Chain A
Amino acid sequence: MSDFAQHLINGVAAGTIYALVALGYTMVYGVLKLINFAHGDVMMVGTFMGYAVAQKLGDEHQSTLWGALLIFLVAMVGCAVLGFLIERFAYRPLRDKPRLTALITAIGISFTLSYGFQLDIPPLPGAAPRAFPEIIIPKEWLIVGDRAVVIWNWQVISLSIAIGLMLMLQGLVYRTRFGRAMRAVSFDHRTAALMGIPVDRIIALTFMLGSALAAGAGILYAIKDTAIQPLMGLYVGLKAFVAAVIGGIGNVPGAVVGGLLLGLVEEFVVGYSSSSWRDAVAFGFLIVVLLVRPGGLFGSVTAEKV
């Protein structure tokens, strides 16, 4: 029973991170109808930016509240800029080309970032994994029974931050003019343009927002998993994308549900069998969902207008 509870907590912790990244995927897919393969790698860049800032701050300052905030801020802003640049120079010129073209570009950017960061040429970090500094000094927050279930402070903080970010996004998408414009563009960008919506700007802002969220997720991931290396973006990114598809790509609450579900399923499968099956779980789960409900849990299969 305690095992179950522990797995539950770990699953939710991992799930919220997937959800944060999945939100970026789903938002970009909504406005551009593009799978941004490079999204996970943007997350990775954010994580390394946070790492660099933490190194600069040194042991003393990095674990203070202001230090941690600075780390988050730099990572998120940095990634927002990166997202903007990628959209502007790699995706925008291809907006009216067949989607396959943009998909190939996305893969290209993903590879450039992930394997580029692996190069042993300074300032690039190189392939060796690094330990992300402890910006939250771990303390046990809640112990149930005789250490049967342990909840750590950083898990609680991480979960709160993730939920906070998601709520902010929810508010943004459904209660602001920007959010309305974003949803309009995702329905039909030509009509939205005719209605006077600055489509280019909305798309750029969506990209920046998604990238910032990914950076936040990246820092949270680093807090959880400690070891970071340049290829982490590929795997987390793919799984987050799977989560977005499971929830129904383009559907914002779906991404959150998908992320949580994936985190839980992965944790339980690994918990009750062995960790070497971890990577196969996400894809297996995806295939099952796609077979049963091709539009994802909350999505709808939109018929093409003939």
Chain B
Amino acid sequence: MSGALLQAAGVGIEFGGLRALHAFDLEIRQGDLKGLIGPNGAGKTTAFNLLTGVYVPTHGEIRVCGERVNGRQPHQINHLGLARTFQNIRLFRALTALDNVRVACLSDETPLFSRSRIDELRRRSAGRSPVAGAMDALNNYVDWWRALLLTPGFQEEEQEITRRAEELLKVMGLSQRRDEEARNLPYGEQRRLEIARALGTRPRVLLLDEPAAGMNTREKADLMVLIRQLRDQFELGILVIEHDMKLVMGICEDITVLDHGVTIASGAPERVRQDPKVIEAYLGDSYLAAHGMQVPPRSPTTETPAT
């Protein structure tokens, strides 16, 4: 597919008088593995929240698979092909590992109104179609009825969901944890489970929010390999927020650097690493001065307060 899977153009958001993100541009295509980095409070998770619909942008436009998603509900954006993990793990703690993934593997069954008709209605009214909403609701009610009657078709769908979920657990190396409650899993496995769960929604683009946080060196190395593998196996575009420079430099082909809500650099890892603006943001201008580098001039928009 030639089109971009995820596009952000001039995206920004203000909370009261605070500009948390400003003029954010990003494009993810299939096969991309991009990174989003920056000091704490730079606006990285805010960007994720904007892209996934948790926040509504006050400026700019976001498109998923070509469709404009400003103001759409997160679950709708997910259906369009965007999935994410969370900075602070947000698993369904009392559910088993299998069930965590099964929740995400919602069936595509549409007993009453066809999916394409609903999507078309939605597309034409830019996401706000009460008729489409009603059709979705009716589909769902009929599906609950089928669940109640335990129709053969329904039983098959359940088996399919279970099969898909088990497959994903296998890919992430969690098969033996299938019936374990999510809250009992060790930390590293919880992070992997979150990824498995996100994959259950059959995304085209995957957003990983600090997937390596709290992992030891070996786990991080394994994760790096895994992320690349997932990108290839599931034909995804991936965007990673990370603090660990080795991981980011190791797997990302393109890096965007945020500071105080503004993009201060973007491009290939080597170039970004040597950009004085980036060094200053992380290490401060005294470091630059000590190493004989020039302090770059302040661009007007960096005056915005941090998130």
Name A residues whose Cβ lies closer than 8 Å to a Cβ of B: 303, 306
Any chain A CB within 8 A of the CB of B54?
yes
Bin the interface of chain B by size: under 10
Query: 6 A-B residue contacts at CB 8 Å?
Result: A303-B54, A303-B55, A306-B45, A306-B49, A306-B54, A306-B86
Minimum CB–CB distance for B120 against chain A, Å: 30
Q: For the complex, what is the distance from the CA of A244 to the CA of B78, rounded to whole Å?
A: 37
**Cβ contacts under 8 Å, B86 to chain A:** 306
**Cβ contacts under 8 Å, A303 to chain B:** 54-55
Q: For the complex, what is the distance from the CA of A4 to the CA of B49, rounded to whole Å?
A: 52
List the A residue with the shortest CB-CB distance to B209. A306
**Cβ contacts under 8 Å, A306 to chain B:** 45, 49, 54, 86
Kindly count the residue-residue contacts between A and B in the assembled complex, taking CB atoms under 8 Å apart: 6
List the A residue with the shortest CB-CB distance to B54. A306
**Cβ contacts under 8 Å, B54 to chain A:** 303, 306
Q: For window 43-101 of chain B, which residues contact chain A by CB distance below 8 Å?
A: 45, 49, 54-55, 86
Minimum CB–CB distance for A299 against chain B, Å: 14
Minimum CB–CB distance for A294 against chain B, Å: 15
Minimum CB–CB distance for B205 against chain A, Å: 18
Minimum CB–CB distance for B192 against chain A, Å: 21
Q: For the complex, what is the distance from the CA of A87 to the CA of B184, rounded to whole Å?
A: 33
Minimum CB–CB distance for A305 against chain B, Å: 9
Chain A residues touching B, majority SS? loop
Minimum CB–CB distance for A190 against chain B, Å: 14
The 3 closest A-B pairs by CB, nearest first: A306-B54, A306-B49, A303-B55
Minimum CB–CB distance for B90 against chain A, Å: 8
Q: For the complex, what is the distance from the CA of A131 to the CA of B244, rounded to whole Å?
A: 72
- 1/0 per residue B248-288: CB within 8 Å of A? 00000000000000000000000000000000000000000
Q: For the complex, what is the distance from the CA of A75 to the CA of B138, rounded to whole Å?
A: 56
- 1/0 per residue B100-124: CB within 8 Å of A? 0000000000000000000000000
**Cβ contacts under 8 Å, B45 to chain A:** 306
List the B residue with the shortest CB-CB distance to A303. B55
Q: For the complex, what is the distance from the CA of A303 to the CA of B49, rounded to whole Å?
A: 11
Q: For the complex, what is the distance from the CA of A303 to the CA of B20, rounded to whole Å?
A: 14
Q: For the complex, what is the distance from the CA of A303 to the CA of B58, rounded to whole Å?
A: 15
List the B residue with the shortest CB-CB distance to A300. B16
Minimum CB–CB distance for B131 against chain A, Å: 21
Minimum CB–CB distance for B50 against chain A, Å: 11
Minimum CB–CB distance for B133 against chain A, Å: 17
**Cβ contacts under 8 Å, B49 to chain A:** 306
List the A residue with the shortest CB-CB distance to B45. A306
Q: For the complex, what is the distance from the CA of A303 to the CA of B14, rounded to whole Å?
A: 13
Minimum CB–CB distance for B84 against chain A, Å: 10
Q: For the complex, what is the distance from the CA of A306 to the CA of B49, rounded to whole Å?
A: 8
Q: For the complex, what is the distance from the CA of A303 to the CA of B53, rounded to whole Å?
A: 12
Minimum CB–CB distance for B88 against chain A, Å: 9
Q: For window 2-20 of chain B, which residues contact chain A by CB distance below 8 Å?
A: none
Q: For the complex, what is the distance from the CA of A236 to the CA of B54, rounded to whole Å?
A: 38
List the A residue with the shortest CB-CB distance to B15. A303
Q: For the complex, what is the distance from the CA of A306 to the CA of B86, rounded to whole Å?
A: 8
Q: For the complex, what is the distance from the CA of A163 to the CA of B60, rounded to whole Å?
A: 49
List the A residue with the shortest CB-CB distance to B56. A303
Q: For the complex, what is the distance from the CA of A303 to the CA of B307, rounded to whole Å?
A: 14
Minimum CB–CB distance for A97 against chain B, Å: 14
List the A residue with the shortest CB-CB distance to B90. A306
Q: For the complex, what is the distance from the CA of A303 to the CA of B55, rounded to whole Å?
A: 8
Minimum CB–CB distance for B158 against chain A, Å: 30
Q: For the complex, what is the distance from the CA of A303 to the CA of B46, rounded to whole Å?
A: 12
Minimum CB–CB distance for A298 against chain B, Å: 15
Q: For the complex, what is the distance from the CA of A306 to the CA of B45, rounded to whole Å?
A: 8
Q: For the complex, what is the distance from the CA of A299 to the CA of B45, rounded to whole Å?
A: 26
Q: For window 161-200 of chain B, which residues contact chain A by CB distance below 8 Å?
A: none
Q: For the complex, what is the distance from the CA of A156 to the CA of B49, rounded to whole Å?
A: 54
List the A residue with the shortest CB-CB distance to B48. A306
Minimum CB–CB distance for B51 against chain A, Å: 12
Q: For the complex, what is the distance from the CA of A303 to the CA of B56, rounded to whole Å?
A: 11
Q: For the complex, what is the distance from the CA of A34 to the CA of B96, rounded to whole Å?
A: 31
List the B residue with the shortest CB-CB distance to A304. B54
Minimum CB–CB distance for A187 against chain B, Å: 14
Q: For the complex, what is the distance from the CA of A63 to the CA of B81, rounded to whole Å?
A: 74
Minimum CB–CB distance for B74 against chain A, Å: 10
Minimum CB–CB distance for B165 against chain A, Å: 24
Q: For the complex, what is the distance from the CA of A303 to the CA of B16, rounded to whole Å?
A: 12
Q: For the complex, what is the distance from the CA of A306 to the CA of B54, rounded to whole Å?
A: 8
Q: For the complex, what is the distance from the CA of A306 to the CA of B209, rounded to whole Å?
A: 11
Q: For the complex, what is the distance from the CA of A303 to the CA of B18, rounded to whole Å?
A: 15
Minimum CB–CB distance for B233 against chain A, Å: 28
Minimum CB–CB distance for B209 against chain A, Å: 9
Minimum CB–CB distance for A137 against chain B, Å: 53
Minimum CB–CB distance for B53 against chain A, Å: 11
**Cβ contacts under 8 Å, B55 to chain A:** 303
Minimum CB–CB distance for A129 against chain B, Å: 47
Minimum CB–CB distance for B56 against chain A, Å: 10
Minimum CB–CB distance for A306 against chain B, Å: 5
Minimum CB–CB distance for B19 against chain A, Å: 16
